[in-house]
Structure 1
């Protein structure tokens, strides 16, 4: 059980995790952590000062050297223990995700199951971190390559799936032999601290994982530009990602960015309509639409548009909205009340320019009703802006070429999906949609721990998952051996 340092007026106060110890901020600056469902004050969390940041950097750099030299079998054993710790504390993790991030009951369990699968995947990858031998044109030379850990990695994590998406950074970094410093979202600080507690119980050596809670603006220059940080991995908004990329460029650091999305679900004229409606519903409303892969644009062939809208609206109106702890809830609270006002503003702008609200469009407290808009056009904010809420725009495509044009008419390029029974059209869209991931006859929301997850355009660059994470978090070194005497031209 994650234990607080103390209490303040009956509210638990949590510290930072530095060098295997739970510590308070030297400046004793506390930030409140509220439940998005009812705004209940859950906890106070210490915010890192320059002292804790320096301590985390120092301990991570020191620990990285020993961890890199640790035997593969020892690393595997650590992850086997971690898996058992997570399974034993499954209910605790689920309850924290529900309470702190507003995750619905089943979505929280899905996060945990994914992480267990992720750990099993990375255990398999640990023994496959390899280079290669290669031919050479020089007599007596043996030429080969191998991979080495980078050293210290910085992970900056989001609020929407705080357990899963933080573990997608920590587990591969540690498996590859690095130390890592995690900066959780300001909205979900306890989820990051819980991950440290799980690793601590599993026996991870001090310093290999450090957790620093603070606003990105407070820690960004101190961490992103420090020479001890060798790579940055970020999931979050495009605006923040761009700022981090600028800082990484100044320090010539490797960076992986997984940012926003405006995912298209394309429904062609030969699509299975029922399957398309189900895919659209799942892609639009999972976790209140607070998913970077969300299918927030459904592009439907004109011949199916009206009947699709009718069936989609019927299904959307039956999506269960309610408290996240209830097992049948699909749409729970948005992470903050201000997000509801932001989405309402997008809808108001769209309606003023001719869009039609087919259902939803209202909210009560932090609960936004599943919303379907039609007649959305490029002059509307919602056509271009990410909503990060349970709102979807249905667009009419005149033909296949027009559907592709609409799919690509966005600054984002993370995930896309196409509903069709025509193999030629499926392959055409797979090749030509500007997205890092394309799913045929499925939702835009899809992920597995071993696949190359990532986007293009304003959705980012670099890939996470399996060996792709290992490649991002290691350095490839070329080595030659001269078995005889080398000859030189002078």
Structure 2
């Protein structure tokens, strides 16, 4: 673990470079406030240098044979797997995530890299399409996009960084990446080390450890990158859309969610309770796909609440490095303060508390609200904390209406014993993903991951990300000279 904690520098053009701002950031363990490491912050000038190096290096990488790209990615996957236990230890210390969460994140990250190994040969495929002009051959090529800007969040930093980085590099692009400064190791430095050890040529992957005070909107406005990949909040996503959109840049934005978990009239309540507890409280609710509203048919409402609360009150909380801990700390004091404000405001507005949580520093034990009005501020807020809201629906149809009554549309789930009807209803939910008889937190490198409405733009996952991270180019060959009308 110590070898990773020493990685406190930015990775620029294949070298570990100390941030030149004169300012530093203390990377704190959110559980006990101990210092994981201290980061000298990079400057806007160093960021610009990264883009210039990435732009130059990408030209050669684009021409590199697919087999060489595959070998680099294979070595990255092996490196991460070989250092699994050390990485898990860093994830628990840096993000406050449980050992369960850390294992899930490492598995997802390695899975993304392994799937990216299948992508380099996509650049070698050439499609021929019919031509309307006699003697013409139309060919469709995929070529690398160029330099891709990557910005990732604090909650699943390694996974949500790698789902941009690995496909981008596999498809012949270079990357300038900025992880959330609260998770610099798992979001950036360990990834940089893996690619360094794997032999990735200099300049193809650059990781900048800095904050907005130093760089402002430079990652959005730089003329050296025409694609921004961002995972984070909807307000920030809107700012990125407005700023980068003025320059007609391509964007991949995975944003916030208000994800419904629906228990229909014919559902198995015990199975629904099991799924709801996992889908609400993994990583303290700090996941874009997390269950935000539990909508239960009135037939099962009282039974669901009784069983849910009985289970939730016994969830182990505390030090996330301990194997049995389920509820660890939220990422920082501001996040904890925000959660407490939500709780107090909901109480003032008359929401009924079925389970009262407690706060100890950044550690919040679960709070459960029941009889929640779907139109209330509580129900319409992305909670991003261990706060559960349970809403009663008078019918299955009303449950679907409640589910759709939000500006978000990321993930959703339905519990039912009628799988055919469940699939029909799934198509009526306004979200990019719906899971039948499962909870809302699901991911896979071969599915179209992404939302609708204010939950994002574009899809991650193979092959959808291939379209996003390459340029489709039409090349026509006139094999017989044409006769023109003038």
TM-score higher than 0.5: yes
**2:130 aligned residue (135, 142, 152):** 135
Displacement of 1:23: 0.8
Displacement of 1:126: 2.4
- 145-154 vs 427-436, which moves further: 427-436
Displacement of 1:127: 2.1
Displacement of 1:2: 7.0
Unaligned runs of 5+ in 2: none
**Over aligned residue pairs, what C-alpha RMSD do you find?**
1.6
Displacement of 1:218: 3.8
- Name 1:219's counterpart in structure 2: 215
Decide whether the 8 Å contact of 2:7 with 2:185 is kept in 1. no
- The separation in 2 between residues aligned to 1:338 and 1:52, in whole angstroms, is 29
Query: SS in structure 1 opposite 2:322?
Result: coil
Answer yes or no: is 1:371 the counterpart of 2:358: no
Decide whether the 8 Å contact of 1:368 with 1:390 is kept in 2. yes
Answer yes or no: is 1:58 the counterpart of 2:47: no
TM-score, reference length from structure 2: 0.96
**2:93 aligned residue (83, 90, 99):** 99
Decide whether the 8 Å contact of 2:374 with 2:402 is kept in 1. no
C-alpha distance after superposition, 1:408-452 (max 9, x if no partner): 111111000001122443133221111000111111011011111
- Name 1:7's counterpart in structure 2: none
Answer yes or no: is 1:278 the counterpart of 2:274: yes
Superposed, which structure 2 residues align to 1:368-407 within 5 Å? 368-378=364-374, 380-407=376-403
C-alpha distance after superposition, 1:319-365 (max 9, x if no partner): 22121111111111100122222112112222222211111332211
Decide whether the 8 Å contact of 1:283 with 1:296 is kept in 2. no
Displacement of 1:45: 0.7
- Name 2:258's counterpart in structure 1: 262
Query: SS in structure 1 opposite 2:463?
Result: helix
- Name 1:37's counterpart in structure 2: 31
- Name 1:448's counterpart in structure 2: 444
Answer yes or no: is 1:75 the counterpart of 2:69: yes
Query: SS in structure 1 opposite 2:191?
Result: helix
Answer yes or no: is 1:478 the counterpart of 2:461: no
Q: Compared with structure 1, are the counterparts of its residues 112 and 214 closer, same or farther at alpha carbon in structure 2 (3 Å cutoff)?
A: same
- Name 1:123's counterpart in structure 2: 117
Decide whether the 8 Å contact of 2:120 with 2:172 is kept in 1. no
- Name 1:8's counterpart in structure 2: none
- Name 2:234's counterpart in structure 1: 238
- Name 2:243's counterpart in structure 1: 247
- 409-418 vs 480-489, which moves further: 480-489
Answer yes or no: is 1:87 the counterpart of 2:113: no
Segments of 4+ in structure 1 off by > 3 A?
1-4, 128-131
- The separation in 2 between residues aligned to 1:488 and 1:437, in whole angstroms, is 51
- The separation in 1 between residues aligned to 2:381 and 2:213, in whole angstroms, is 23
Displacement of 1:131: 4.5
- The separation in 1 between residues aligned to 2:414 and 2:200, in whole angstroms, is 43
TM-score, reference length from structure 1: 0.96
Query: SS in structure 2 opposite 1:323?
Result: coil
- The separation in 1 between residues aligned to 2:42 and 2:204, in whole angstroms, is 18
Displacement of 1:487: 2.4
C-alpha distance after superposition, 1:117-151 (max 9, x if no partner): 21221112322343421112211111120111110
Superposed, which structure 2 residues align to 1:138-177 within 5 Å? 138-177=133-172
- The separation in 1 between residues aligned to 2:194 and 2:246, in whole angstroms, is 35
- Name 2:107's counterpart in structure 1: 113
Q: Compared with structure 1, are the counterparts of its residues 13 and 78 closer, same or farther at alpha carbon in structure 2 (3 Å cutoff)?
A: closer
- Name 1:343's counterpart in structure 2: 339
- The separation in 1 between residues aligned to 2:356 and 2:6, in whole angstroms, is 38
Decide whether the 8 Å contact of 1:3 with 1:14 is kept in 2. no
- The separation in 1 between residues aligned to 2:457 and 2:375, in whole angstroms, is 28
- 358-367 vs 266-275, which moves further: 358-367
Displacement of 1:379: 5.5
- Name 1:28's counterpart in structure 2: 22
- Alignment length, in residue pairs? 484
Query: SS in structure 2 opposite 1:214?
Result: coil
- The separation in 1 between residues aligned to 2:311 and 2:165, in whole angstroms, is 38
- The separation in 2 between residues aligned to 1:92 and 1:131, in whole angstroms, is 43
Decide whether the 8 Å contact of 1:415 with 1:437 is kept in 2. yes
Unaligned runs of 5+ in 1: 5-10
C-alpha distance after superposition, 1:292-337 (max 9, x if no partner): 0001201001111111111111111122212111111111110012
